[in-house]
Every structure is written in C-alpha cells, then in structure tokens.
Chain A
Amino acid sequence: MIKVEGLTKRYARTVAVDNISFEVEKGQIVGFLGPNGAGKTTTMRVLTCFLPPTSGTANVAGFDVQDHPLEVKRRIGYLPETPPLYPEMEVREYLRFAGRLKGISAADISRRVDEVVDRCAVGDVRDRLIGKLSKGYRQRVGLAQAIIHNPDVLILDEPTSGLDPKQIIEIRELLKALAGEHTIILSTHILSEVEHSCERVIIINAGKLVAIDSVANLTNRLRGSEAVAVEVEAADGRPNPTEVQQRLEQVSGVSRVLMKDSKNGRLTFEIESLQGRHIRAEVARTVVNSGWNLSELRAVGISLEDIFLQLTAAERTGASAKDTEPEGAKK
C-alpha cells in the first residue's frame, strides 16, 4: 500500500529524513516511533504530498507522491499534529466542508458526516463551535475529518498527544476498529502506544531508519535474553566489588554484568543473560556458595522502551564518528 524508497528530505541546514526505505502492507497498523525531532512528521508530510522529497520516491496505493499528488491525496486521510480545525466553524459545518473538499458529492455528504460523527463519538458537540471544544473533542473531530472520505490510507501524527488516559484508550479502540479496512500509519514518541495498537513498528532516530519489524519480533529479540537485578551483601559487611563482579561474570550463560550501586556494603548488579539462557538459579547459587548474602534477586522485564533505547544508542555510538562533524559545523 505504501512504498518508500531512499527517501531523503533536506531543509536549508538540516537533514530531516535521511535515506529511509520501508513498505507497509494493506490493512496494517504501523507505528512510527522516534524521539521528538526524529523526522516522523517530515516523513508523513512527504507521504501526504504536503512536502516534496529532496530525493527518493514515495508511493501510496500505486501512485507516486510527486507525479500524481491529486490521486494520492484522494486516497489519504491525514491528521496533523495539531488538528487543522477552524475555530469559527461548527463541528458538522466543518466536517461538511472537509468532506466536500475531499471530493464527496453533495448527495452523499450528510450521510458521511453523520457516519463519522457517530464513529468518532462527537455527537454531543455536533452543533458546537470548534473553538469552544476541549482538546479531546478537537482531536476526535480532527480524526473524523481524516476518515470522512473513507481513505485507503490513514496517516496520523501523534493522534493521542495531549489527551487524558481515558481519551487515549478511546482513540486506541477507534484505531483498532478502523484497522481492518484502512492502512494506518501513526507516529508517536510514546512506546506503550505502539505496543498497544500497532502490528509493526518503524523506529527512526535523527532521520535514519533504526529498525523495522513486528512488535512481537522486536520484543522477542530481547526477551529471549533475561535481565536480572541482584543485590549482594557480604557477611562481614565488606564485599569486594571487583571480586563479586568477576565471580558473577563466570556464571555460565551470563553475557554482561553491570554494577549499579554500592551502598552500606550492599552491591547492586544488573546481569544480562545470553540468548535463551535462564541464569537466576545459577546466579543465586554462586552468590550463596561464595559466602555472601543474597538480599535481592529479581527479573527485570525488557520493554519496548529498553529496545528503543538500545537500538537508538547503538545507532548513536555507531554513527558518532560521522555525526560529530556536521553538528560541530552547525554551531
């Protein structure tokens, strides 16, 4: 449904998106994940024909964004970061305008407006001025605007930002309901968002593609290995940190031991296992057999948060040599 190849967008002094390629299948919900300023909005703007790419191509439903922008726009519903609402219009009046603008005929417009009003649950405020609505309602009116012409592709830029938890859940439910018939790309910098509503994740950082995979795969990739937090106390109150660390590193299946803290003779370590190895029992035995007290041992779950940090951190260290130069030049 969406095919992006070698997409680069350069502004006057910065490269917002750097050579990104990905594909999205029909009917999928894809999360576009990255810290603020990673290039999510820019990529979305290219897909919606709001901005032309500097180089590379983007293809939506078989139409190139540069060669056939009108065809692409007909098939896309777009909710920008700030919903594009006219405060002086009433909700239904606005939706009529947006719908007609997107090519819905005069005969169908009332029916479509009623449909999206129902779907996005803005019936209570249908005759109110948009300027008087709360943030949650505005977001939903924005979403109604995006789906009014029943587009093949929905592009949502941070659809849940600024909403309260209840509203976030409602929007998530709505997105799930929409997913079957529409292909959805949503951007967010909140990881749990992706875990909840997306099938696939595209992670970008500083304009570069970091990872693209299904949510399950990404979590599995690191859930196969185990992380354990251990707190060790010496019987005499003075354990030797290096000795403890060495002993722990010798446990079979351990890939990395990190000392987190040492306070009042208590040492805290975080231990990561190799892929597919369970190390908790072995670690406990080692500590006890060495004559230390094991005061805490618990598994640390690896969330998408960690994956994200690891991936972007790897990217950063890998690319740091390259990156320092242009950044220095900017200043």
Chain B
Amino acid sequence: MKSALLICRKELNSYFASPIAYAVMALFALIFGFGFYTASRDFVRFSLQSQMMGQQQPMNVNEQIVRPLLGFASTIALFLIPMITMRLVAEEKRTGTIELLLTSPVKDSGIILGKWLGAVLLYLCVLGMSMINIALLFAWGKPDLKPVLIAYLGLILQGGCLLAIGTFISTTTKNQIVAGGVTFFVCLLLWLLSWFTAFDSTATAQVVNYLSIVTHFENFGKGVLDLKDVVFYLSMIFFALFLTLRSMESLRWRA
C-alpha cells in the first residue's frame, strides 16, 4: 500500500511536469465552460420569456443546467481519459524504466494501484475545473446541493472505471499512440452500447445496455443514488484492475 502511494505521487508529479495535465485540464475547462455558457444563457432567456408571457413555467436550475451539463461532462471525459492513461505503463515499457519498478521489492498490485490512483487524482483535478462554473450557479442561484454531489460521485465512479480500462490497455503495448487510440475506441464502444436498446427490448439488448458505461450514469445525473449503479462501477474497476495485474504478470513471461 505504501508503494502504491509512492508510485501515485510519482505519477502525479510526472503528469504535472509534462504538458499532459495542463492540456487535459485546459481542454476540459474550455469545452465545459462553453457548455456552461450556452446552457445558462438559454436558461436565463427562457425564464425571462416565461415571465414576460405571464405563464409561469416551472424553471429549475438543477434540471435545466446542472443535469445536462454534468451529463455533458461525462461525455467529454470519454475523450480525455485516453490522454490520461495512454502513457501510464506504455511509456515505462518503451523507455525501460519498467525494469526499475519490476526489480524493486514492490508487489505488482502496488504498482498498478499507484498508477491508477495517480490517474484518478489527475481526473479529479480535471473535474475540479468544472466546479468553478458550478460554484457560479450557487453564487447567483439556489440549486439543490445533494443532486450535484451525487452527479459528481457518478462522474468520479465512471471516470475511475474508464481509467482502469485505460490502464489495462496501456500495459498491453509499448506504444502510447496505440494505447491511447485503443482506449478511445473502447470508451466509445462502451458509450455506444447504450444505443443498442433504442428500438429493442430483447434480453440480449438488456444485457448489452446494462454493460454500457453511460446507462449507469443516468441515475447519478438525475441525483438518484442507486446501489446497483455503484456496484456496477466498482466491480468494473475491480475487474479492469484485475486484468491489468494479469497483464503485468504476463509481461514477465512474454518479455
């Protein structure tokens, strides 16, 4: 465990020593800020209109700004996560520093956990950028805090899950570009799976739909904390990290 924290700190340091951390955070802030701007502008316009027309339509900051916005954030994350995970192990394999890790008295599980935690912490920093915008909502409006927190929890769990998958893919290659590309397509696929059920309600479709990363975020987005979804994410994280561990072990046999 101590080694996991050590490696986690090292990973965070190297993220912030390279442009990756800043690039990912800036990109996210830019896109999320744009989404925030349009969403709040439309919200203000609608509420003015409904006041002028005299017909009081129910307006709700949570429903009309926070929910779509954080749903949007979960989609942006799909694109940013490959940038975070692609270097994790692939780079160490290419430069040979993996030999330092694998010949130090540390367990493989510690190495993997540390790398994943480092990625999760960077992802938290990225999400943190969105809190600037959300804080503005709290300054000038009265949204409910609880659903916002639940939506963030959902974002963190979904991110942790995709980061674990990305870490796994990064152990399978020496090439960062390949790792990033494959991770991106896997993220995309897990997202698209939810489309499968659009006009289909057979058992297969249900199963496929259940596997989609995005389906499970919907409840969190609504502010509903369902144990089912939490379990799904946690078990996905566990499964992906387990695959990573196996993949690391196989490195020794195939190297």
Residue positions of A touching B, CB distance < 8 A: 45, 48-52, 70-71, 73-74, 76, 78, 80-82, 84-89, 93, 97-98, 100-103, 145
A-B contact pairs, 6 of them (CB 8 A): A50-B99, A50-B103, A84-B97, A86-B95, A101-B6, A101-B106
- A97 contact set on B, CB distance < 8 A: 6, 10
Q: How far is the CA of A48 from the CA of B103 in the complex (A)?
A: 6
Q: How far is the CA of A82 from the CA of B97 in the complex (A)?
A: 9
Q: Which of A74, A81, A89, A93 contacts B105 (CB 8 A)?
A: A74
B14, A89: Cβ atoms closer than 8 Å: yes
**B27 contacts A by Cβ under 8 Å:** no
- A49 contact set on B, CB distance < 8 A: 102-103
B18, A88: Cβ atoms closer than 8 Å: yes
CB distance from B99 to the nearest CB of A (A): 5
**B107 contacts A by Cβ under 8 Å:** yes
B14, A88: Cβ atoms closer than 8 Å: yes
A98, B100: Cβ atoms closer than 8 Å: yes
A51, B252: Cβ atoms closer than 8 Å: yes
A102, B14: Cβ atoms closer than 8 Å: no
**B172 contacts A by Cβ under 8 Å:** no
**B101 contacts A by Cβ under 8 Å:** yes
Q: How large is the interface on B (under 10, 10 to 19, 20 to 34, 35 or more residues)?
A: 20 to 34
- B95 contact set on A, CB distance < 8 A: 82, 84-87
Residue positions of B touching A, CB distance < 8 A: 3, 6-7, 10, 13-14, 17-18, 95-107, 252-253, 255
B96, A80: Cβ atoms closer than 8 Å: yes
- A51 contact set on B, CB distance < 8 A: 252, 255
A101, B3: Cβ atoms closer than 8 Å: yes
Q: How far is the CA of A73 from the CA of B99 in the complex (A)?
A: 12
CB distance from A41 to the nearest CB of B (A): 10
Given known A49-B103, A76-B103, A101-B3, contact A86–B255 (CB-CB < 8 A): no
CB distance from A149 to the nearest CB of B (A): 9
A86, B97: Cβ atoms closer than 8 Å: yes
Q: How far is the CA of A260 from the CA of B164 in the complex (A)?
A: 67
Closest to B106 in A: A101
Given known A49-B103, A51-B255, A100-B6, contact A85–B97 (CB-CB < 8 A): yes
B7, B99, B100, B102: most-surrounded residue (chain A CB, <10 A): B100
- B104 contact set on A, CB distance < 8 A: 73, 98, 101-102
Q: How far is the CA of A76 from the CA of B100 in the complex (A)?
A: 11
Closest to A105 in B: B2
- B102 contact set on A, CB distance < 8 A: 49-50
Q: How far is the CA of A45 from the CA of B251 in the complex (A)?
A: 13
A78, B103: Cβ atoms closer than 8 Å: yes
B100, A101: Cβ atoms closer than 8 Å: yes
- A71 contact set on B, CB distance < 8 A: 105
Not counting A70-B105, A74-B105, A89-B14, a sample of 15 additional A-B residue pairs whose C-beta atoms are within 8 angstroms of each other reads: A49-B102, A50-B102, A70-B107, A76-B103, A82-B96, A84-B100, A85-B97, A86-B14, A86-B97, A89-B17, A100-B6, A101-B7, A101-B106, A102-B105, A145-B100
CB distance from A70 to the nearest CB of B (A): 5
Closest to A87 in B: B95
A50, B6: Cβ atoms closer than 8 Å: no
- A45 contact set on B, CB distance < 8 A: 255
Closest to A77 in B: B103
A80, B99: Cβ atoms closer than 8 Å: yes
Closest to B249 in A: A52
- B255 contact set on A, CB distance < 8 A: 45, 50-51
Q: How far is the CA of A78 from the CA of B14 in the complex (A)?
A: 23
- A101 contact set on B, CB distance < 8 A: 3, 6-7, 100-101, 104, 106
Q: How far is the CA of A97 from the CA of B10 in the complex (A)?
A: 8
- A80 contact set on B, CB distance < 8 A: 96, 99
- B7 contact set on A, CB distance < 8 A: 101
Q: How far is the CA of A216 from the CA of B6 in the complex (A)?
A: 46
Q: How far is the CA of A328 from the CA of B105 in the complex (A)?
A: 42
Closest to B2 in A: A100
